[in-house]
Structure 1
Amino acid sequence: MRKKLGWLLVIILVVGVAGFFTYRALAERNSASATSLQTATVKLGTVTSAISSAGTVRSNQSATISWQTNGKVGEVKAQLGQQVAINEVLASLDANTLSQSIIQAQVELINAQEALEELKKPQPLKIAQAEIALEEAKAELENLLNPSDIAISQAEIAVINAQTAVNEAQKKVDQTKYGRGTDQQIASARASVLMAQDKVANLQEAYDRTPGKPEEDLAKANALANLTAAQNEYKRALAVLNWYLGSPNEEEVNEAYTQLALAKAQLAEAQKTLEKLKNPSAMDIELARAKVEEAQQNLETLKKGPTQAELITAETRLTLAQATLNQAYLTAPFSGAITEVQVLPGDIVSAGKPAFRIDDLSSLFIDLMVSEIDIHQIKVGQSAQITFDAIPGSEYSGTVTQIGLVASVTQGVVNYPVTIKMTNPDEYVLPGMTAAVSIIVAQHENVLVVPNQAIKFSGGQSIVTVLYQGQQIPIQVTVGLTGTSVSEVISDQLREGDTIVINASAAAASTSNFGRPGEGGLGFFGP
């Protein structure tokens, strides 16, 4: 029995000594490894998930302004960098080199403006004339339906007068076959010549008897004036006689026949009118009614004013003329800054030759390409962080404004266009610059965060190793939102302020023993 007890004491002593030295070795190893551990503190913070891409800055709107016709540049008003307003004239062609079509457009523009103004303004005179025409058409119809005795009498008198005019015209035609004047006209003309001749002789005798000179004596001057008047009267009488005695020329003959034809036409019209009054035909009545309707419609049209179609036609004519004339000028299509100038006064230009570039720099945008894997995470309105290699030390912000629906495929890689609007650009950001953009697709605030390197994976579990009193204790966690450097972790056993090991050993990160000492089967330590 004593022998067995001795052996038991020996065994206990050996185990105790071995345990002591084992504990001492482990403590020394833990102490040595602690000096090389990389640790971090569990914090409450914000985790941001972003999708990164690169793109090029562009202006809100950009346009190249080119000449629309040929010519010589006369004046260049816009300069590089100048701010211009919409429709502001930037340059113009020399008026002496304009094409014929533009010169004609200047005249057409004036005519089109006058026509449009005439169409729009009130027409009191034309309305009054239309009212008179309507009353005349109604009276004509009434005369056909119920002719009055007065109307018939007037028509009969018109026929008589027209017949008289025909007779007189016929006499003149007949006279052209013999001479200009009748025997009676020639005799009367001869008598006038003789009387004028005697008057000249008598006044000549009176002038001769009067002493003195006309320029010095009033009586002599009066005698001369009377004599001169008589001589002129004699010349006129003689000219009339000679004309009557002469034969009519070709022009006079033609005029006589023309007057006869006109008189006959007027007689036929008068006879037709009289016949129509006495025996109107159904066709005459129908035509008269149609004339009344036409006059009525014309009056109503004038009172209503121009139709929409008439206004559109007149305005289109004006617009076309103005558009042709505008080819001599270059104007700004929108408000912006002149970013390129390729024209000088005196340049010979042709249609299609560029002259200016204009950019609306009031807003700047960045065009990106995002992979098909990430595109569904992008939403309009998401924020973006923007940096430029060309502007070191500065960070800008932006917002997603547009997501393309059609992909671009390059060597099998599928990307979709995304547009970012910069919210705080400054004078250093210029169109054409390359930008690095991070689009924030998710963000969790006031959550437990740890460095991404501190999260280990073992047996399909996510592990964070807590350092407590020199011991590395693996804690199972659920990983939430992952950012570029930190991740959100969820665990009842992890608290803000805990120290975690980034470079935990494989053994420490093993899933064989979870939990804090001092609680449960393994025990947990307090906060």
Structure 2
Amino acid sequence: MKKLLVILVIVVVLAGGAYAFMQWRAGQRASQLENLQTETAGRGQLISTIGATGQVRTRQSAILNWNTAGTVDEVRVRVGDQVEAGDKLAELKQTSLPQAIILAQADLVNARKALDDLTTNAETAKIQALQSISSAAQAVRDAQYRLDNYIMPTELQNLSTMDALDQMQKKLDEARLAFEPVKYLPENDPQREELKDALDQAQADYNAAVKRLDYEYALEVAQSNLEKARQDYEKWKDGPNPDDVAAVESRIAAAQAALSQAWIEAPFNGVITLVDTQPGDKVSINSPAFRLDDLSSLLVDVSVSEVDINQIQPGQEVRMTFDAIRGKEYKGLVTEADRVGSDVQGAVEFMVVVELTDPDEEVKPGMTAAVNIVVDELEDVLLVPNRAVRFQEGKQVVYILKDDQVVPVSIQIGSSSDVLSQVVDGELQIGDLIVLNPPTVFESNGPPPFVQRR
């Protein structure tokens, strides 16, 4: 009997403990249900971005230094001045310049005169060549006329000039030889008269052949002179010899380069953002003078992880904010994305260049920008808060509140932003109350079966 009483007491105690535990557990569940944060599932816009930070820079920036020693004579700009490429910003006193730069002034004068002389001489030579062409052409016509109108003895007309000359030379030699024995006879001697006439005729025929040769030679000389005049004209018609011009222009460029060391010019269009030189300063080579920035285009360089780089391409929209500029969002575009990554402390990163499309005076080079690159923009898609997504048995789920019960619903996530994700498949329906902070008691109590929609 006593043993039975002990057993009954133990059973009562255990039953009471179990009841108390169940009441405590139910109270906890009720308390946690009261503290649940929910959001109604719905459709909307999703902007998927990749975030990064970087510093603003200008497209072009340059520190302009003095290229020689001397004393500053004039400074023509102040901070904030807009300048154009080639504008002279400051100059050194002529009397303070090194000897080499002073001598370059004389070299420049001489080189320019040499270039003028080349041009003038070429024009003169061209005119002379034209005159020579005219004279030589007339000489050719005259020589051709004389040759064409020269009548050779009948017996020579069908022979070439050299053949005729050879025959006439032979005939003349024979006539001289025949006349030699009788040349001292009286002039009225019949035989002497006959041989003398033959000698005279041979001499006349020989002279005729020589004259024809002279006419042909004169024509060849005239034609050669005409060709030479034409070659001279071709040489000078387009101006002086390019090699000569290049040599003189090199002298001019060298002299100008030496002289340009006496001043500083703007290398590109931009704004003077620093002036570090004043009239009267004694400067040396590489002494800094100005900083020039092209503020017409502001860029931000950001590093992107290898995981994200394939989602980025030129032309994508970018949204930017600055800690230094409250309450403003700026727009931009991706202009460049590196094709080769760099190892940064063991992680591979890619440089991406973003250009601001709506900068204002508040945005300044050197500021830190929070950059969000828009890689996807979806309209009218089913959305779920990222903080509500859980993993259960390797699957993505969200908990919903249904009939005062917290139950998991399977989902499949598509694109995501920092706050929301697109639901591309699963059991979640529009209007479901998504639990943003499902209590541990429900998760640890074992997963209830998925709600099946029918």
Q: Which amino acid aligns with 1:56?
A: Q
C-alpha contact (below 8 Å) 1:465/1:508 kept by paired residues: no
Shift of 1:302: 2.9
Summarize the Cα distance change of 1:391–1:126 in structure 2 as closer, same or farther, 3 Å threshold: same
Residue 451 (structure 2) pairs with residue 515 (structure 1)? yes
Q: Show the 5 A alignment for 1:156-171.
A: none
Answer whether contact 1:50 1:438 (CA < 8 A) is retained.
Answer: yes
Deviation at 1:415, TM superposition (A): 1.9
- The alpha-carbon distance between structure 1 residues 28 and 415, as it changes in their structure 2 partners (threshold 3 A), is closer
Judged with a 3 Å threshold, the aligned counterparts in structure 2 of structure 1 residues 505 and 411 are, in CA distance, closer, same or farther, namely closer
8 Å CA contact retained: 2:82, 2:272:
yes
2:377 alignment partner, one of 412, 428, 443: 443
Residue 74 of structure 1 deviates from its aligned partner by 0.8
Q: Secondary structure at the match of 2:294?
A: strand
CA distance in 1, matches of 2:254, 2:414: 66
- 3-state SS, counterpart of residue 56 of structure 2: strand
Q: How many Å separate the matches in 2 of 1:441 and 1:495?
A: 26
Query: What is residue 337 of structure 1 aligned with on the other side?
Result: 271
Q: In structure 1, what is the equivalent of residue 97 of structure 2?
A: 98
Change (3 A) 1:138 1:398: closer
Does the 8 Å contact 1:30/1:470 carry over to 2? no
TM-superposed deviation, 1:85 = 1.3
Shift of 1:321: 2.8
Distance (whole Å) between structure 1 residues aligned to residue 259 and residue 224 of structure 2: 45
Partner of 2:88: 89
In our comparison, the structure showing a higher alpha carbon Rg is 1
Report Cα offsets for 1:38-65 as digits up to 9, x if no partner. 2111121223332222211111100111
Deviations 1:283-307 (A, max 9, x none): xxx9999887655532432334334
Describe how 1:46-85 pairs up with structure 2 within 5 A. 46-85=45-84
> Once the 2 structures are TM-superposed, how far is the Cα of residue 441 of structure 1 from its aligned partner?
2.4
Q: 2:319 aligns with which of 385, 390, 393?
A: 385
- 1:502 and 1:139 map into 2 onto residues whose CA distance is 109
Among 239, 252, 270, the residue aligned to 1:318: 252
Distance 2:224 2:97 in 1: 52
The answer as to whether partners of 1:337 and 1:358 remain within 8 angstroms in 2 is yes
What SS does the aligned partner of 2:257 have?
A: helix
Give distance in 1, aligned partners of 2:30 and 2:244.
101
Write 1 or 2 for the structure with the bigger share of strand. 2
Q: 1:419 is paired with a residue of what secondary structure? A: strand
Aligned counterpart, 1:486 = 420
Cα RMSD, aligned residues only: 4.1
Q: Is the 8 Å Cα contact of residues 410 and 428 (structure 2) preserved in structure 1?
A: no
Structure 2 equivalent of residue 375 of structure 1: 309
Q: Which consecutive unaligned segments of at least 5 residues does structure 2 have?
A: 1-21, 147-213, 215-219
Tell whether the 8 Å contact from 1:474 to 1:508 is kept in structure 2 after alignment: no
Question: In structure 2, how many angstroms separate the alpha carbons of the residues matched to 1:299 and 1:25?
Answer: 117
Equivalents in 1 of 2:47, 2:127: separation in Å? Answer: 82
Residue equivalent to 1:217: none
Q: Distance in 2 between matches of 1:124 and 1:416?
A: 61
Deviations 1:279-331 (A, max 9, x none): x9xxxxx9999887655532432334334444444443333332222221111
Matched residue type, 2:450: F
Write the distance in 2 (CA, Å) between the matches of 1:26 and 1:409: 53
Aligned residue for 2:105, secondary structure, equals: helix
- Following the alignment from structure 2 to structure 1, what is the Cα–Cα distance between the partners of residues 386 and 372? 19
1:38/1:135 Cα in 2 relative to 1: closer, same or farther (>3 Å)? Answer: closer
Report the 3-state secondary structure (helix = DSSP H, G, I; strand = E; otherwise coil) of the residue aligned with 1:339: strand
- Pair 1:491–1:470, CA change in 2 (3 A): farther
| Alignment of 1:495 onto 2:429 | yes
Answer with 47-56 or 28-37: which moved more.
Answer: 28-37
CA shift in 2, pair 1:288/1:448, >3 Å: same
Q: Which residue of 1 aligns with 2:398?
A: 464
How many residue pairs align between the two structures?
Answer: 371
Deviation per residue, 1:444-474 (Å, 9 max, x gap): 3211112122222212222222223323333
Cα deviation for residue 352 of structure 1 reads: 2.1
What SS class does the counterpart of residue 361 from structure 2 fall into? Answer: coil
Q: What TM-score comes out, normalization by structure 1 length?
A: 0.60
CA-to-aligned-CA distance 1:383-404 (integer Å, 9 cap, x gap) = 2222222223332222211112
Change (3 A) 1:131 1:448: closer
Q: Distance in 2 between matches of 1:50 and 1:107?
A: 64
Q: Secondary structure at the match of 2:234?
A: helix
Q: How does 1:246-285 map to 2 (within 5 A)?
A: none
- The residue identity in structure 1 corresponding to 2:263 is Y
Offset, 1:76:
0.7
Q: Please state whether the residue corresponding to 1:351 is helix, strand or coil.
A: coil
C-alpha distance in structure 1 between counterparts of 2:234 and 2:399, whole Å: 98
Judged with a 3 Å threshold, the aligned counterparts in structure 2 of structure 1 residues 65 and 124 are, in CA distance, closer, same or farther, namely closer
Query: For 1:417, which of 337, 351, 362 is the aligned residue?
Result: 351
Structure 1 residues without counterparts, runs of 5 or longer: 1-22, 147-279, 281-285, 521-527
- Secondary structure class of the residue paired with 1:109: helix
